[in-house]
Amino acid sequence: MNLELVLLQESFGVCRLESSSRIPEWAMRGEFFSITRTNQELSIVALEESIPMGVKAERGWRVLGILGVLDFSLVGVIAEISSILAQESISIFVVSTYDTDYILVREDRVYKAIHALGGAGYRVKGE
């Protein structure tokens, strides 16, 4: 597909709170965050520096965002990216929005991910 991605400069954490929890103010700091509530959990992706100690969180994630608007008729975007990264044993956490997708990669693996994606024809800004 040869899409263009952008690497956000901040570090993020993926948090889990109880499903009945109120959405905390710290979760909505910065230009990128994601909040999802189900009947089982409140899942938050937030700036790592904003997450209080004691909150259940996996810290140390970087975000690669696909630039532009992805049409709903496109098939296999995440499948292709995840396949490329899986071949390099790089795990991901994906956040999708109406317009596009964001791929979270562990900070210590992000440059390996960028290299692998570049080898497959993807361009990454902000590295």
- Map tokens 């938050």 to a residue: 44
- In 34-125, DSSP assigns E strands to 34-37, 42-47, 57-66, 92-96, 101-106, 123-125
Which CATH code fits 4-125? 3.30.2130.10
| Interval 77-101 mean pLDDT | 94
- Rounded to the nearest integer, the mean pLDDT of the chain is 93
Q: Is the pLDDT of residue 127 over 80?
A: no
Query: Do 77 and 36 meet the contact criterion of CB atoms below 8 Å apart?
Result: no
Q: What is the DSSP letter of 61?
A: E
Report H helices in the chain: 77-86, 110-119
Q: What is the pLDDT of residues 16-73, one digit of tens each?
A: 999 999 999 999 999 999 999 999 999 999 999 999 999 999 999 999 999 776 666 6
| Interval 107-127 mean pLDDT | 94
Q: Write down the pLDDT at residue 71.
A: 64
Band (88; pLDDT cuts 50, 70, 90): very high
Strand partners, 105: 62, 92
Q: Is the pLDDT of residue 120 over 90?
A: yes
| Interval 90-105 mean pLDDT | 95
Band (2; pLDDT cuts 50, 70, 90): confident
Domain range annotation of the chain: 4-125
Give the whole-angstrom CA distance, residue 12 versus residue 33.
Answer: 9
- Map tokens 């902000």 to a residue: 126
Q: Is the pLDDT of residue 100 over 80?
A: yes
Q: Write down the pLDDT at residue 78.
A: 87
Q: Is the pLDDT of residue 86 over 80?
A: yes
